[in-house]
Structures are given as structure tokens and as C-alpha cells.
Amino acid sequence: MILEEYIFTSCFLNDIQGLIEQKKQSGYIYDSAKYILIQFDKFCVENHIDRAIITKELSDTWQSYHADEAKSRRASRMSVLRQLAQYMNSQGNECYIPSKFSAKSYRVPYVMNEREIKELFTVADDYAPKVNADRFNILAEEYKVLFRFIYCCGLRVSEARKLKLEDIDFERKTALILRSKGDKDRLIYIADDVCKMCLDMLDLLHDKYHFYSEYLFPSSDPNTPLQVASINKKFREFWKKTSGASDSKYPTVHSLRYSFVVTRMNLWMEKGENLTAMMPYLSKYLGHESVENTYYYYHQIESTFKIVRQKDQLSDRIIPEVSNEE
């Protein structure tokens, strides 16, 4: 969905447009909130809401609209409705103002900065198994590439570990991600240096260790991919050896995917790209079911978007205290 093309049609259309215009004039990007307002507009039309008044009943119905969604996403929806009610009250239209919806049971994702990522990769490069045996040395070579591959391609751990060589076209620099989250397939593009890194690893495994597998990242058993538990354990081991490791920082392998999104959005903003126009492409690349899921990355992560946040310094009333849904 292209946000600029949507036409509001519910009884709240004037209030919604007024809120959006107010935020835009104040310098806010406000795209993630606008997406939620579009959903609210559709909700009102579908449920035949014909009075432009936010009541407690309407608020409760909107809150429970998606019964199976994560608490953090519900917090985002309720925050935007709260903003709309506050705006309407400021315009003299008395409305019920929903209380803040707490989603504190989820942890905000840790996004690694450029220095931390480079240091993690350096630790992986310097890693030498305690036991000098082929099967451990093979895994050491794979980990050097695996974490870079996840970060550079923005993949989920499950997608990277299950990737088969037959699904990678090294000439065209593409990979087919099959039956991922939501049982969907998608095509991703691989950077030149990442392709070379993978090919160099495969050559080493074949020529030095005579180790062959259908998987790009096999376990010590060539018939099975690396296990999630092993990947997580090795990531934690590498992270603890970095200078940024502390009890207050808890990155996971999935943090590399979050960091990919942050890096990509910052690059677009630095180049002056239209973030709204680019988000559908990023959403499709990440394998998200909707653009809302991709905006949610931005909505969650407060301190890491150095460029986006300079242009969109949202207050607590605009971005709620929401947390992570990996």
C-alpha cells in the first residue's frame, strides 16, 4: 500500500487528516502512525461507525480488534488512537482518551552499531577451536561467514541455516528463501563481496577438508544444517569477547537482522530517498506479511536511527513504550 494514495472515508476523516497535517507541519515523518490510522479508518467503515466521537466502547473494540496479535503491536495501535483522541479534544471535540497500553513483558531488541558489528566479525575471524580437529575447524570457517551473511542479507536465523546450495545462484547473486515464516517463498539479492566470501568458504571446505553438503551452512554432519542452539551459543561466545559486552547489553543473532534494517533505513535517509516509497520493497525483501510489520521495526527501536530520528523526534505520546516481537 502506498500511503499517499490512500483516501480516508470514515466519519473521522477530517480529524485524521488534521492530526496528520499537524504532525507533518511539526516536522514529524509520522508514516508508521499514518499506516495505523489507515487501518482505523477501514475499521470504522467496516463496522459502520457513523459518529466521529471516540468513546470507551469504540476504544475497547479497537483494542481487541486483532485478538491474536502481539501486545507490543496492540500498544502501537492504542497509542495512535490515544493521539487522535487528544487531537480531537484539543479541537473542542470531547472524546474518551484511552490509557496507555503496557507491553512491558517484551524486551526491546538490541541493535548493534557499526563498531560492535565489526568487532563481532573480527572475533569470529580470530576464533580457533580448542580441539584442532577437522569437524571443529570446518564449523569455525562457517561461523566466519554465517554471521556476516545474516547481517548483510537481513535474514532470520532459520532462513540462513536452512539455505541449500541449489537455491543459490552465485552468478546472478540471488538466493531463494523457501517456506519461511508464513510459509512464503521470496528471492533475495546477495552483495558481490558476500557471494565471494561464500564461494571462498566452499572452496576451502571442499579442497582442504573434502567436506561436501547440500547446505550452505551444514553441521558437522553434512546431511543436516547448523542447529539454532549451536548458532546462538557461538554468537554469545563471540559477543562476550567484544569490548562492548556487558550485563546491560543482550544482543542475539536476531539483532543482526534488526541492525540490517536500521542500516538500510539510515542509508536511504542519508541519500534523501522517500522512505514511504521504499518501505514496501524492504518489507518484501524481509519476508514480512505486511508493510506494517516493517514499520514496526522503526516504531520499536528508539535510539538507533541516527538520521531518521533526527527528522522524526517523536515524544512518548507518539511512540509508546513498546517492545520486541522477533
DSSP letter (8 states) at residue 179: S
Residue 247 CA, chain-centre distance (Å), reads 24
Give every strand in the sheet of 186-189, ordered side by side: 168-169, 174-177, 186-189
Contact 318, 33 (CB under 8 A): yes
Q: What confidence tens digit (pLDDT) does each residue in 84-136 have? A: 999 998 898 989 988 776 554 445 567 888 899 999 999 999 999 999 999 99
Say how many CA atoms lie within 13 Å of 50 toward its Cβ.
1
Residues 6 or more apart whose Cβ sits within 8 Å of residue 81: 40, 54, 59, 62, 98
Domain end among 198, 218, 240:
240
* CA 53 – CA 66 distance, rounded (Å): 21
Beta strands in the chain (DSSP E): 168-169, 174-177, 186-189
Establish if 174 belongs to a structural domain: yes
Domain that holds residue 154: 114-240
Per-residue pLDDT of the chain (326 residues; tens, 9 = 90+): 556 788 999 999 999 999 999 888 877 777 888 989 999 999 999 999 999 999 999 998 998 887 677 777 888 899 899 999 999 988 989 899 887 765 544 455 678 888 999 999 999 999 999 999 999 999 999 999 999 999 999 999 999 999 999 999 999 999 999 877 766 789 999 999 999 999 999 999 999 999 999 999 999 999 999 999 999 999 999 999 999 887 667 789 999 998 898 888 888 877 888 777 888 888 888 988 777 677 666 655 544 555 454 444 332 322 223 333 33
Establish if 322 belongs to a structural domain: no
State whether 61 and 156 are in the same domain.
Answer: no
State whether 18 and 53 are in the same domain.
Answer: yes
The predicted model scores a pTM of 0.64
Residues 6 or more apart whose Cβ sits within 8 Å of residue 243: 119
